Amino acid sequence: MKTLEIAEFLGGEIVGDGTVEILRVASLESATEGDLAFVEKTEFDLSTRASCLIIPIDLEHDFPVPVIKAKNPKLAFSKIAAILHTRKGRTEFRHDFSVVSETASIGEGVFIDAFCCVGHQSKIGDGSQLLSGAKVGNNVSLGENCVLHPNVYVEDGCTIGNNVVLHPGVVIGADGFGFVRDEDGTYVKFPQIGTVVIEDNVEIGANSCVDRGALGETRIGEGTKIDNLVQIAHNVQIGKRVVIAAQTGISGSTVIEDDCVIGGQVGMGDHARVLSGAIIGSQAGILPGKIVRPGVWWGTPVQPLDEYKRQNAHLKGISRLKEEVKLLRQTIDELSSITDKP
């Protein structure tokens, strides 16, 4: 792709030679010939050997290589990277060591690698890829252009939209964790016969789990991105464009509305509700039933970041406070002895 073509694709102004061939993207530091890099701030290392740079619109500098101006260079860089580094062209293929039910409906251009399964009455949309060992149960609906990485498992009856990426080891639709205690103390399983719905453009990280609803559904909204080793319990409802970092756990029936950002190792109790636009700091803990309003939240139990910081500062000040109280006691004792004298 030539530098001019890239500028046109990005809708950005180009300064310099528009005919330079770009093969890859790279970081500013490691870029070599044929690489496109990006500059975010006005301070940067001039010694890059990239063949082209994406720079902020307001950056005035005489570069030795062609530059493309963009409002958000990192975003522009990400967009062009998706073009330059398209996922390897896995075209229509079905490995001999795969098991596809005769009643399954397989779209056009579907790639099914070794040790994959597709169950009865399941539907795989056009252009989707099942990489080695990915397994799809019965009555599953998988949309178009999805990628199921190795050893992914999608249980019976789940529905997955278009352009969904499930990274290796993801488990969709396993039983939720619900038991009722019998009189003799044994736990009887509450039925876990609901389903999971994953909307378009969702990405879920390696070894994460999304449990099926107990009776209803667990839902993950369009464009939501989930990191590795995350636990989504039964009947959780996650809105659109939510970001959830690694190792976070969301308990049953909790609702996370659109456009929330959830840090790593966060724990949410059941039946909580995180309102649209809330940002939850890493390792925070949200109590069951809690409603979390928009804003930045931190700590266990969660509190507004400002309060959390103030409290932490207070906490650090306790020893000084103790000292102060001790001094007060001394002063008072002295005063008492004076006032006692007469």
Known catalytic membership, residue 149: no
Is the CB of 63 or the CB of 101 nearer to its own copies?
101
Residue 70 identity (one-letter amino acid):
A
Does 93 sit near its own copies (CB under 8 A)?
A: no
Does 46 sit near its own copies (CB under 8 A)?
A: no
From candidates 63, 94, 123, 228, binder to its own copies by CB under 8 A:
228
Does 99 sit near its own copies (CB under 8 A)?
A: yes
Provide, rounded to whole angstroms, the least separation between the CB of residue 201 and its own copies: 8
Whether 50 contacts 73, CB under 8 Å: no
User: Which of these ranges, 9-17, 48-56, 104-112, 165-173, lies near its own copies under the rule CB under 8 A?
Assistant: 165-173
Provide, rounded to whole angstroms, the least separation between the CB of residue 171 and its own copies: 4
Provide, rounded to whole angstroms, the least separation between the CB of residue 179 and its own copies: 6
Does 56 sit near its own copies (CB under 8 A)?
A: no
Q: Give the CA-trace dihedral at 72, 73, 79, 82, to 10 degrees.
A: -150
Is the CB of 289 or the CB of 301 nearer to its own copies?
301
For the window 178-207, what string marks contact with its own copies as x by the rule CB under 8 A? Answer: -xxxx--xxxxxxx-x-------x-x-xxx
Site for its own copies in 116-155 (CB under 8 A): 117, 132-133, 135, 149-151, 153, 155
- Chain center to CA of 177: 23
Exactly one of 85, 149, 234, 314 is catalytic; which is it?
234
Site for its own copies in 255-314 (CB under 8 A): 259, 264-265, 267, 269, 282-283, 285, 300-301, 310-312, 314
Backbone conformation region of residue 235, classed left if phi is above 0, alpha if psi is from -120 to 50, else beta: left
Provide, rounded to whole angstroms, the least separation between the CB of residue 62 and its own copies: 26
Q: At a CB cut-off of 8 Å and minimum separation 6, what does 309 contact? A: 298
Q: How many residues bind its own copies (CB under 8 A)?
A: 103
Q: At a CB cut-off of 8 Å and minimum separation 6, what does 224 contact? A: 199, 202, 238, 239, 240, 241, 242, 243, 244
User: Which of these ranges, 13-21, 43-51, 55-63, 229-237, lies near its own copies under the rule CB under 8 A?
Assistant: 229-237
| Residues catalogued as catalytic | 234
